[in-house]
Amino acid sequence: QVRGPGLGVVGVSKGAEVALAMATFLPQVVATVWINGTAFLHGNPLVYKDLRIPPIPYYIERMIFTEMGALDNSAIFADPRDPAYSASAIPVEKIRGKVLFVVGEADRSFNSKLFAELAMARMPPESGRVLSYPGAGHLIEPPGSPLCSISSMRGTPRPVVWGGEAQAHAKAQDHSWQEIIQFLELHLGPTATMKL
């Protein structure tokens, strides 16, 4: 059930990229939780009304295969600070709501910490907050979820490395979950007022 009037969006990985774009262009999105995503379009353009944001291409020739035969994607992304990619930045300076950036510093898929920092540098300081967790991998999920450091993914020839150290990742999931709930309740209202 949607309580309204404002909406909250939670996204992980590519979904975090989409969530950030939604927060940028949809004024009804007042609270966004971005978990290990990017702040630039990658792979596919974003088309919204008359706007088209070009993507930064993936450099699949840079794929690395680990000793176990898993795919390490960390090198396929170009440096977003390269001026050639400035048009691919999601214009986060237009965000009217609030954004909580959740970063796993041992993310082996994206340089999530860099993307969060680049987004925050373009946003008003009061618009966003970064939670950064050393030892946490890419897939930060609710507490009690096991660390998923490698898994299959549709469209990839081999399992993908997500990173993370078990104990540090578990602590990040416990702490970030409480912060996410508080963030959403602060900007959307407490769930106790909702009647199903």
> Is 175 assigned a catalytic role?
no
**CA 146/CA 160 separation, integer angstroms:** 16
**CA 192/CA 189 separation, integer angstroms:** 9
Preceding peptide of 5 cis, ω within 30°? yes
Query: Is the distance from CB of 156 to CB of 65 less than 8 angstroms?
Result: no
> Is 149 assigned a catalytic role?
no
> Is 50 assigned a catalytic role?
no
Query: Is the distance from CB of 142 to CB of 112 less than 8 angstroms?
Result: no
- Options 42, 109, 138, 176, the catalytic residue: 138
**CA 180/CA 86 separation, integer angstroms:** 30
Partners of 138 in beta bridges: none
- Options 13, 88, 109, 149, the catalytic residue: 13
* Antiparallel, parallel or unpaired: β 160-161 and 128-133: unpaired
- Options 107, 112, 127, 176, the catalytic residue: 107
Query: Is the distance from CB of 85 to CB of 54 less than 8 angstroms?
Result: no
Closest-CA residue to 35 (of 143, 92, 90, 107): 107
- Write out the catalytic residue numbers: 13, 107, 138
